[in-house]
Amino acid sequence: MNMLMMRWVILLASIAIAGIIISQAFWIRKGLLINQSNFDNAVSRILTEISNDLEIQSIGEVKTEDPVLRISPRSYLLNIKIPIDVNYLADRLQTEFANPFHNVDFSYEVYESSNKLLVFSDTIFIKDQQLRKFKYLPNLNKSRYYVMVNFPDRPIIPSVMLTIWITAIIILTSVIIFFAYTLHVIFKQRRQSEFQKSFINNLAHEFKTPISTISISAHVLQEDDILDEPKRLKNYAMVISNEVNRLKTQVNKILEIASIESNEMALSHEEFDLNVLLDEIIMAFEVNVQKRNGTVTRNFLSKSCIIYADKVHFTNVINTLLDNALKYCDRIPAIEIETNCFETKAYIKIKDNGIGIAKENLKRVFDKFYRVPTGDIHNVKGFGLGLNYVKMVANAHSWNINVGSEVKKGSIFTLTFPKN
């Protein structure tokens, strides 16, 4: 899938998800409005029926039209223009709102319409008690009252609707997370594919030179008069042997990476002195540094440091880090190696004055096939496997490796590991 097609797929999928979210929000709002409207209608109907019944009991007919006014989503005002039998009022209110359809606690207050004074109030807990009779309530004989009915604990969202909406939100959130994860995998695979293409190109370039050299040497060895020149024969045979060893080293490195990824790397742990082994590695490495008039500084803060690890893989890790310090340096190399040993752990710091690594590339330096852009250094070769190998060996040993870097100033790789 090309990048343009991928962008269209992402755009359309994002629009679809946004549409689902908007439609869900619309239906949630619609449901809330319908629920509130249904409750308003039910309360208005009940209060109107009570008002009508009170008027019929008092004067034999219904005179008040539309006596109910909604004050807020939880408060309703009933206008009664006749004397009130509070026993009857309280009994009817509790009976109606104890209906399974409503089953909601409420409170009510009776006010005189002339002076707005509260003359009676009560709170009914429907869910906490059975229906009760009101035997000692007063009769209100004035001509006009307001009855305020409140539902303080009524949920704005009914539990059934809330369950449905929570389920829908969980499903929608899962879809969004899955979509985001899918995008992450797609881009990761695409990036991996690009790295693999770069790896194959580098691999072809790395193999092309030794294969060409072997081909030329083999052609020379096929000449009839080559047997008459033993020294020349030996030189070409040595060239072939060196190039074969070079190819073998590259192939073994690739196979070693594959075996580590498959959890097939066999570690052969042994005790050795960290400082002694580093001295041996540095002595061999200094030859290449001195060719560029560079220096390698040792800073061993402990006289001796015995660690327990695979000596071969440890040597390869240090060689890889030192090779990179030299390879990615565009000036006279100045490399510093610091070690220190504590009771339970030890560390190695390898500091260089190379081209450095940009902050946005630091988190990917250990990725397989990834090669940090090297600016003007065009002669740097490699497969992008070195630091990936370092990271996997560190993980296999339960070591910790960190990198800090600043462009044009250099990098510091810190390897921390337990002594036992």
The reply to whether 128 falls in a domain is yes
For residues 193 and 138, state if they share a domain: no
**306-334 mean pLDDT:** 89
Percent of residues, the chain, with pLDDT higher than 70? 79
For residues 132 and 193, state if they share a domain: no
Higher pLDDT, 198 or 268: 268
Chain centroid offset of residue 397 CA? 27
**What is the reported pLDDT for 340?**
93
Higher pLDDT, 127 or 174: 174
Model pLDDT for residues 93-143, shown as the tens digit of each residue: 877 777 655 567 778 888 877 777 777 777 766 555 444 444 444 444 455
Highest mean pLDDT among 97-106, 178-187, 195-204, 370-379: 178-187
The reply to whether 249 falls in a domain is yes
Model pLDDT for residues 31-89, shown as the tens digit of each residue: 888 888 888 888 888 888 888 887 777 666 666 567 888 888 788 888 887 777 777 77
pTM of the model: 0.49
Strand-pair partners of 406: 410
The reply to whether 173 falls in a domain is no
Domain final position from 212, 244, 261 = 261
For residues 55 and 198, state if they share a domain: no
Indicate which CATH number applies to the domain containing 355: 3.30.565.10
For residues 126 and 13, state if they share a domain: yes
**What is the Rg, in whole angstroms, of the alpha carbon atoms belonging to the chain?**
42
The reply to whether 389 falls in a domain is yes
The reply to whether 177 falls in a domain is no
Order the strands of the 345-351 sheet from edge to edge: 295-300, 334-341, 345-351, 410-418, 400-406
Burial (Cβ within 10 Å: 0-12, 13-18, ≥19) of residue 234: exposed
Higher pLDDT, 373 or 336: 336
CB neighbour burial string for 270-304, b if at least 16 within 10 angstroms, e if fewer: eeeebbebbeeebeebeeebeeeebebeeebeeee
pLDDT surpasses 90 at 299: yes
For residues 125 and 9, state if they share a domain: yes
**What is the reported pLDDT for 132?**
42
Q: What is the DSSP code (8-state) at residue 339? A: E
pLDDT surpasses 80 at 23: yes
Residue span of the structural domain in which 9 resides: 3-157
For residues 368 and 326, state if they share a domain: yes
The reply to whether 403 falls in a domain is yes
Total of domains in the chain: 3
For residues 226 and 99, state if they share a domain: no
Indicate which CATH number applies to the domain containing 222: 1.10.287.130
Any residues with CB less than 8 A from the CB of 235 and at least 6 apart, and which? none
Domain final position from 243, 261, 279 = 261
Model pLDDT for residues 210-269, shown as the tens digit of each residue: 788 888 888 888 887 877 888 888 888 888 887 787 777 677 767 766 666 566 567 788
Domain final position from 261, 277, 306 = 261
Take residue 84 and report the two structure tokens written for it.
């009130």
For residues 46 and 138, state if they share a domain: yes
**What is the reported pLDDT for 338?**
95
For residues 301 and 387, state if they share a domain: yes
**What is the reported pLDDT for 138?**
47
The reply to whether 169 falls in a domain is no
Model pLDDT for residues 357-389, shown as the tens digit of each residue: 888 888 888 877 677 766 544 454 554 567 888
For residues 327 and 244, state if they share a domain: no
The reply to whether 165 falls in a domain is no
For residues 342 and 399, state if they share a domain: yes
**144-172 mean pLDDT:** 77
For residues 399 and 277, state if they share a domain: yes
